[in-house]
Amino acid sequence: MPKLPGLIKGLGVTMGTLVRTVKDGANTVQYPHAKESPPVRARGVIALREDNCTACMLCARSCPDWCIYIEAHKQLAPPRRAGGKPRQVNHLDRFDIDYALCMYCGICVEVCPFDALFWSPEYEYSEPRIADLLHDKTKLGEWMETVPEAPALEVGAEKKK
């Protein structure tokens, strides 16, 4: 009978947890009914601000698994000042991110020199069909609403210039 104390101790833990769960509630979150809010920095989905994008292709080139597809054409825009020459701008035809391939590394957001890409902590965009995970530029633009403000930094951090 030398193994009995361990068994009794184990049953004691079960009893203790049972009492605590009934009193304080469980540690788990019942997902579809209750939701956890991810932290502000969580990398959930990438949002696109289309006006800022100049189709420079930096994000598409630096993506480790090449899941960003960009197509653009040049077009003439009205001059900034009256009497000036018309400007040549890149107009974005297609900006797709394939979330079936994306590995959420965040390199594209980091390399973007014009602040066109942002992280949003939104995570509920699973699809029954894998092809639907290809988000086009209108869908990526809709994610912009969910992008939070950058959080304040810890004491001792250097201010961003």
Task: Write down the least CB distance from residue 75 to other proteins, Å.
Answer: 29
Closer CB to other proteins, 54 or 137, in the complex: 54
* Closest C-alpha among 79, 69, 83, 42 to residue 140: 69
Task: Write down the least CB distance from residue 6 to other proteins, Å.
Answer: 4
Sheet holding 134-135, edge to edge: 68-77, 87-98, 134-135
Closer CB to other proteins, 38 or 79, in the complex: 38
Q: Are 134 and 67 in contact (CB under 8 A)?
A: no
Closer CB to other proteins, 10 or 79, in the complex: 10
* Closest C-alpha among 54, 35, 33 to residue 112: 54
Task: Write down the least CB distance from residue 101 to other proteins, Å.
Answer: 13
Question: Where do contacts with other proteins occur on this chain (CB under 8 A)?
Answer: 2-3, 5-6, 9-10, 13-14, 27, 38-43, 62, 64, 103-107, 110, 119, 151-158
Q: Are 91 and 75 in contact (CB under 8 A)?
A: yes
Closer CB to other proteins, 61 or 94, in the complex: 61
